Each structure stands twice: as structure tokens, then as C-alpha cells.
Amino acid sequence: MYRHQDLIVKIFLIAACTAVIVYFFPKSDRFKYDYAQGEPWEYETLYAPFSFAILKDKEVLEEEKQQAIEQTPRHFYSKPVNTNELLDRFDESVKSAISDSLYKATSRRYQRVTRSFLQDLYKVGYLEDLQDLKDIHPIVLKRDNELTQLTYGDLILPGELQKNLSAVYASFSNDLQGILTRRLLVLVQPNVFYDKELTDLNIQSEVEKILPTRGLIAQNARIIAQGEIVEGDKLQILNTLNNTYESQTWSDSQYNWKLLGYLVLIGMALTMLMLFIHKYRYEVYNSNKKLLFIYFNLCLFVVLTASVVKIDADFVYIVPVCMLPLIIKAFFDARLGLFSHVIIIFILSFVVPSSGEYLFLQMMAGIVTILSGKEIYKRANLFITVGQIVTVYFISYFAFYAVYQGGVIGWEWSRIIYFVLCGLAMLFVWPLIYVFEKIFNLVSDVSLLELSDTNSKLLKELSNKAPGTFHHSLNVANIAETAANEIGANSMLVRVGALYHDVGKMANPTYFTENQGNGINPHDDLDPEESAQIIIDHIINGVEIAKKSNLPDRIIDFIRTHHGDSLVYYFYKKAKEENPDVDESLFRYPGPRPYSLETAILMIADSVEAASKSLKAPSSVAIDKLVESIINSQMAAGQFLNADITFKQIESIKTVIKKKLASMYHLRIEYPE
């Protein structure tokens, strides 16, 4: 029942991640061809998949709109003016400005001339509110509910009015001419006015009549052949087809099929990742927390990239997708990191433009990330990795541009800036790893580096309370780290586990041989059962101390398993001599047995280092015999059955430990006297 429940959890995880990813996918379809103006069409001959109208170029459409605006007639309306009243006011004004004799001599004549002028002026139309129009621009004048087609130049404007008045009064003396002109200009009123509201409505109507398309491409008509240059009409037709795909509205049936296809493809990709983990990383497969961490990161980077594409597809290379394999490698290993990167790149190829170029660039960058130094906790290694990634981006883009354009002139420098920004974003992997450690309670190499500091609070306390145990832990750490390097295990993890594996001895330090410097052994006053219990309790005490010190579970595992479920053999043998029917379970460690390559290495290194202290005259033969005896007895007791360790690796560990112990005891060949 439990197995089925665990399988259901994993299926639910894949289904949930698939749903999240597909939800953030673009709802519109994407044109599957990538092209650029001036480049040859590198695909097969393209035929129209359906009939569609050709969209006009934006510049052409804007030009037609501007032309319609300029050619649309402006509307004006006319109001009647009482010329008799205007003449009376004009006459009174002139009369007050000239002498009575001059008025009597000229009034009849200038009144007749002025009346005739005003009649002609208002018959044509006088506009005082100037408009930015040419004289030939058509206008429509509404007068007494009648519409008259004119040009703007037909109207009398203020400048023309003054000029006409000078001609009308030219027969009068200069002084009188000036008085008449000035007085009339002050009194004359416009009778034509600009109708902006009606004009704007007409302009809008004319603009709306402009068609955004020109011509029609029939279904199965050839659009462009392979090798033809993408320019002119062909470019506009391709742009139209591209826009049609992006704005295409799907029927419910079509959309459901499209959605089903996405769900199947993404689900298959995520299932392949789960099968890979099951086959090659079974310890990860058995941990739902670790699986959640991996799939969460996949969803995170897919959602981030899809969101950026929706905002502006040009920014897609700013998203630090190569951070994913770096994170996975920091917590697990390079092989899982690379496979995860391959899966996410395949998924993202559905949403990014220029998917072929994107696949190649990101694949190369991901491989460089995996091949870079594993120790990303070293600042230099991370900066070198980022530099390599940016360089790969640059070189790959250079090559693609050279292939497509047949040269490198005119390439997009903004793309290089995006690559640099992506590299800078990669530097945030440190704080991101720290956040993931706290959220998912995982351990990365960065945390292991911090824990390996012998000046940490817990290790300093160990060195003060149990100096012999601290020295023993350092020796075990050196041996285990060397063995891990030899067989390809996580050497940093083994080293840290070795440093903390005996912290439980701080509870009763003098009951352990390495801390008995004064030659007094408190076990001499205890029964074998009591002594064995004190020895066994250092496991339980160690776990409690580690939890209080907030050590990660991955390190606490080394404390639990470094003795497995083996016997406290010395006191068991002593008790058996006193009582042959003694209960063996009282002398057995609680376990569990080592269940990883690293915990198995620590068990071997701890047992061998402790036993080597009993060698009175250490020699190469004695060390070889000791190492073989201890490791073989552990194998015979089945201590490594749960650990993913092979006979070949065990033999390699034996060889490394023998050499390490020989160097620790400074063994040299004996020279003849």
C-alpha cells in the first residue's frame, strides 16, 4: 500500500508541474519558421496553409492615413452680418475723427464705397480664425442650410482684408485713407467660422475607410521558395502570416486539441526525467522532498522564461537558464544537472523565438556549466564558469549570424549586452542556493564549506571537551576525503560528515580511549553492559547535539550510520566470558546501516583509523592486515548491503587507506647499518 501511495505522489508531482508549465505557455500559436529581412529563406518552399489577406506595411498604412487627413475637406459655417448697422457705426466713428467740412465733402462717397465693399466681403466670406491649410485645400461652407464646395483660398482672410481696403480707399487722400481703413478694420466682423467637430468626424470617417490589407493570398499558393531573399512583398506576406498565427483565435475544439498536445509533450518530458532519476539516482527518487526541489526549479525557470517571452521575446537570453544545472549540480551531481537542463531546453523550445538557435546556444552553455569546476563555493570557480558561459553565447551567436547573413557586419550588439546581463544574473546562484537550503532543508557544497571550518562553534567545543576525539575526527576526515576522491564520491560531504560524526562523545569524553590521557579508564569500575551502553549512547547524544546545533539532516545521517548495527565487540566479548547467555542486542548499535556511498566510506575510515591506534609496531604488513581484516568483517556482517558501493570501489578504498595510514605513521624502508 505504501509503495502505491509513494507512486501516486510522484504521478501527482508530474501532473501538477505539467499543468503549471502549460498554463504559462502562450495561448496563441507560433509561426514555426524563423526569418529576417535581407536573409535567404533556408527552409523548404513555403505554401499558404490557408487563405489570408496581405497586411499593408505600417509605413504605407500611416502614409495613407496622413493622405486621407490632408485631403478631407474642412467644414465651415456662415453667420449673417447686419451691414446697415455696421455702416452706421462706421460712419459715426469716422465723423468723430475728421472735420465737419471734410465729412460733408466725402461722407456720401466713402459710405457708398464701403457699403459695396462690405456686401462683396460677406458674400464671399470673411474668416478671422486662420487654419493651417493651403489655398487649394477643399472646404465645405454651410450658408443658410446650403453647402457650397470651395477652396480655402476663396475665403477672405485678415491679411487680404487690409490689402483690399487699401485698394478700395486709394482715391482718397492719404490721411483720410488711413482713418477709413483703421476705423473699418476695428468694426468689421467675420461671418465664416471653422466647424472643428464636424471636420473631425469626417476625417475619422475617411480614415476608417482605409483598408489595412491589400490583395489576397489563396490557399496552397506559393509564398517563398528555398534560397529566395526575404524582402519586399515576400517579407510583408511572411509578416502577415506570422501575425495571423499569433492572433489566431481557436475554436473550442481546436484549443482543446492544442492543450492536449501540450499536456502530452510536457508530461512525457517530465516523465523521462523521473525515469532517469529512478534508474540512475535511486536515492533521490526515494526522497519526495528532493524530487519536489528538482521539479520546482524546472517549473521556476520555465515560468520565468515564458513570462519574459510574453513581455518581449528579445529579452529571452537575459533569463539565466544555465543556473538550473548549476543548482542541481550543487545539491546532487553533474549528470542529473545536465539531464535536467536538456529537459528544460526542450520544453522552452515551444515558446521561444528562433528555437533552433536557442536550443544550440543553451545546450552548449549548459554543457560548459556542467564541465566547469564542481567546487562552485569557490568564488573564482563561479566567475570562471560565468565567463565561459558568456563566451560560449558570444561565439555561438557569432557563428549563427555568419551562417545566416554571410558576414558579421550589422549584427545586433544588444544581443551581446543580453548575454552579459545573463552572466551577471548567474552570480545570484549563491543567495538562491542559500534560500533553497532553508526552504527544502538540503545541503549544498557552499554549506559544506562553512561546516568544514574547524573554528565553528560546535567543533571548537568538541576540541575543548574531547581533544582526542577531535584529533581522531580530523584523521578520519583526511582518510575519508582521500578515499572519496579516489572512487568519485562527494569528498566534501564525506569530510564534513567525518568531522561531526563523533560529537556525541562530548557527553562523556573520558569514557572513550582517545580522551584518557591520564591513564585512568572509568570502564574498569563498570559492568560490560553499562560500558557498552555508554559507548552506544554517543550515537544518540550525537544526533541530539547535532539537531540542537542545526546541523543538516544529511550530516546527521553520518552520525547515525557510522557504526551501522555492529557490535560493541570488546565489551560484548568481555560480558560473554562472564555470562555465555548474555543478550547480544544490549551490545549492538541501533543503526541504521550506511545507505549511501559516502556514509559507507566514513564507516570504513572511522573503524580503520580507530583500530590503527592499537598497532604497537605499525608496519606496512601490519597495516595491510588490519585494513583487510576490518573491511572484510564489515562486509561479512552485511554493513554495506544498503549502500550503493561495489567490490571494485571497496578494493580501491582499501588501497587508498593503506597508503594514507602508511604516510600518517611515517613508515620508511629499513636501511642496512
Q: Which residue has the cell 554543457?
A: 367
For residues 539 and 596, state if they share a domain. yes
For residues 454 and 410, state if they share a domain. no
Q: Per the domain annotation, does 240 fall within a domain?
A: no
As separate numbers, helices (DSSP H) first and strands (DSSP E) second, the chain gives 27, 8
For residues 382 and 499, state if they share a domain. no
For residues 410 and 282, state if they share a domain. yes
Taking a C-beta distance cutoff of 8 angstroms, is the pair 504, 461 a contact? no
527 is written with which cell numbers?
559492568
Strands 138-143 and 74-78: parallel
User: Domain boundary at 170, 188, 206, which?
Assistant: 206
Overall number of domains in the chain: 3
Q: Cite the beta strand spans of 387-460 per DSSP E.
A: none
Of 245, 293, 255, residue with least CA distance to 273: 293
Q: Per the domain annotation, does 93 fall within a domain?
A: yes
Taking a C-beta distance cutoff of 8 angstroms, is the pair 121, 188 a contact? yes
User: Domain boundary at 206, 221, 244, which?
Assistant: 206
Q: Per the domain annotation, does 118 fall within a domain?
A: yes
Q: Per the domain annotation, does 545 fall within a domain?
A: yes
pLDDT of residue 621: 87
CA-to-CA distance for 140 and 159, rounded, in angstroms?
22
Query: pLDDT over 70 for what percent of the chain?
Result: 93
Query: pLDDT over 90 for what percent of the chain?
Result: 34
Q: Per the domain annotation, does 558 fall within a domain?
A: yes
pLDDT at residue 539 is higher than 80: yes
User: Domain boundary at 397, 420, 440, which?
Assistant: 440
pLDDT at residue 590 is higher than 80: yes
pLDDT of residue 202: 92
What average pLDDT does the segment 389-417 reach? 76
Convert the pLDDT of each residue in 49-83 to its tens digit.
777 777 887 888 888 899 888 889 999 999 998 88
Q: Predicted confidence band at 669 (pLDDT cuts at 50, 70, 90)?
A: very low
Torsion sign (Cα): 494, 496, 497, 503: positive
Overall pTM surpassing 0.75 (yes/no): no
> Helix 491-500 vs helix 597-612: angle between axes, to the nearest 10 degrees?
50
For residues 660 and 526, state if they share a domain. yes
CA-to-CA distance for 343 and 667, rounded, in angstroms?
53
Taking a C-beta distance cutoff of 8 angstroms, is the pair 562, 479 a contact? no
For residues 433 and 454, state if they share a domain. no
Q: Predicted confidence band at 252 (pLDDT cuts at 50, 70, 90)?
A: low
pLDDT at residue 673 is higher than 50: no
Percentages helix, strand, coil for the chain (3-state, rounded to 5) are 65, 5, 30
Convert the pLDDT of each residue in 140-177 to its tens digit.
999 888 888 999 999 989 888 888 888 888 888 888 88
For residues 375 and 504, state if they share a domain. no
Q: Per the domain annotation, does 605 fall within a domain?
A: yes
For residues 96 and 76, state if they share a domain. yes
For residues 158 and 304, state if they share a domain. no
Cα-to-chain-centroid distance, residue 545: 40
pLDDT of residue 376: 59
CATH code for position 625: 1.10.3210
For residues 171 and 188, state if they share a domain. yes
Range of the domain at 565: 445-664
Convert the pLDDT of each residue in 284-302 to its tens digit.
898 889 999 999 999 999 9
pLDDT of residue 407: 60
Buried b (16+ CB within 10 A) or exposed e, 88-127: eebbebbeeebeeebbeebeeebeeebeebbeebbeebbb
Q: Predicted confidence band at 357 (pLDDT cuts at 50, 70, 90)?
A: confident
Q: Per the domain annotation, does 257 fall within a domain?
A: yes
CA-to-CA distance for 256 and 22, rounded, in angstroms?
12
Q: Per the domain annotation, does 62 fall within a domain?
A: no
CA-to-CA distance for 647 and 181, rounded, in angstroms?
121
For residues 328 and 465, state if they share a domain. no
For residues 350 and 449, state if they share a domain. no
